[in-house]
Amino acid sequence: MVLHLKSAKEEASLKGENIYIRPLSGEDALSLLQLQLDNRHFFEKFSMERDEEFYTVEAQRERIKIYEEDSINDQSYMFGIFKCEGQLIGTINLFHVLRGSLQSAFIGYFLDKKHNGKGYTTEAVKLLVDYAFKKLRLHRIEAGVMPHNIGSIRVLEKSGFHKEGLAVKNVKINGKWEDHQVLARINPTE
């Protein structure tokens, strides 16, 4: 009888049909940097301002280290989105985890532009929401999406999120305050 012992990475992976997500580790720093460089102009349309320092392997290693610490402290959870053969194609995270009477978090994600429209982000969102509700015992997951980002709104709606309203000028993107469509999903078991 042969026992197959799973590595820590395999143990932490959440597997879907076409992709899997797992926490990023220091070994992923170069792949994460390449993802950021390949999609710099695409991602920057939807993210906070990033300086040149951000686009270094050292900065990516430091980000991963912070993600690991935040996870240990139940503040945020960052995962890489990987194709089944192991290629990093995006990131997805739960952030601003609130406990006490709220039990909530925000969800965010970035997917390599050349992989958009294939259902990978929807699959990743469903995996992470399932993890958030079952493992982390969160009650509510919220997302904010720029109203013109129709693809991202569709991803969330296909993942069971509902629109709640518009948050006016609530996130600074590339130096400009932008409106965001608020969507949320409530844990159906509570």
Is it the case that residue 30 has pLDDT exceeding 80? yes
Query: d(Cα 105, Cα 112) in Å, to the nearest integer?
Result: 24
pLDDT interval class at 10 (50, 70, 90) = very low
Q: What is the number of other CB atoms lying within 10 angstroms of the CB of residue 58?
A: 10
**Residue 5: DSSP 8-state:** P
Mean pLDDT of 48-52: 68
Is it the case that residue 41 has pLDDT exceeding 80? no
Is it the case that residue 47 has pLDDT exceeding 80? no
Query: d(Cα 86, Cα 82) in Å, to the nearest integer?
Result: 5
Is it the case that residue 124 has pLDDT exceeding 70? yes
Is it the case that residue 85 has pLDDT exceeding 70? yes
User: In this structure, which topology does domain 8-186 adopt according to CATH?
Assistant: Aminopeptidase (3.40.630)
State how far the alpha carbon of 11 is from the alpha carbons of 20, 49, 57, 68, 90, in Å.
Answer: 12, 34, 26, 16, 20
2 φ, ψ to 5°? -110, 125
Residue 40: predicted pLDDT:
74
Is it the case that residue 8 has pLDDT exceeding 50? no
Greatest alpha-carbon span in the chain: 61
Is it the case that residue 2 has pLDDT exceeding 60? no
Q: So where are the chain's domains?
A: 8-186
3-class secondary structure, 59: helix
Mean pLDDT of 78-96: 93
